[in-house]
Amino acid sequence: MNRLNILLFLALLASCVYLVGVSYDGRRLYAELDAARNEEKALATDHERLQAERQAQATPLKVERVARERLAMRNATPAVTMYVTHGAAPASAPGAAR
């Protein structure tokens, strides 16, 4: 009977230690889940902000201004346009069309 009591006590002690470990893991995983949800909300907010910035930067007026200022591009006119037809050599001078 004494051995049975010791065996039951050890089983009870082991189950208590297991229960504490499982509870700790549950709390830790819940904290990680909460942190991941908060990060998801922050990333979603950043994504929306970046989408709005992209739409604001992609307006035709801004694109044209950037093309003129940074890339030194200009409008295409017949004087600076070179027309090339398939199989023909390109014209030597700008404005000389075939």
What are φ and ψ of residue 87, in 5° steps? 85, -5
Domain count, the chain: 1
The pTM for the full model equals 0.51
Domain encompassing residue 12: 2-69
Q: What does the pLDDT look like over 19-73, one tens digit per residue?
A: 999 999 999 999 999 999 999 999 999 999 999 998 888 888 888 888 888 888 8
| Res. 98 pLDDT band, cuts 50 70 90 | very low
- Residue that has been written with the tokens 């904290």 in this structure: 31
Is the separation of the CB atoms in 98 and 91 below 8 Å?
Answer: yes
How far is 55 from 65, CA to CA, in rounded Å? 15
Encoded amino acid at 64, one letter: E
Establish if 95 belongs to a structural domain. no
Establish if 79 belongs to a structural domain. no
Establish if 56 belongs to a structural domain. yes
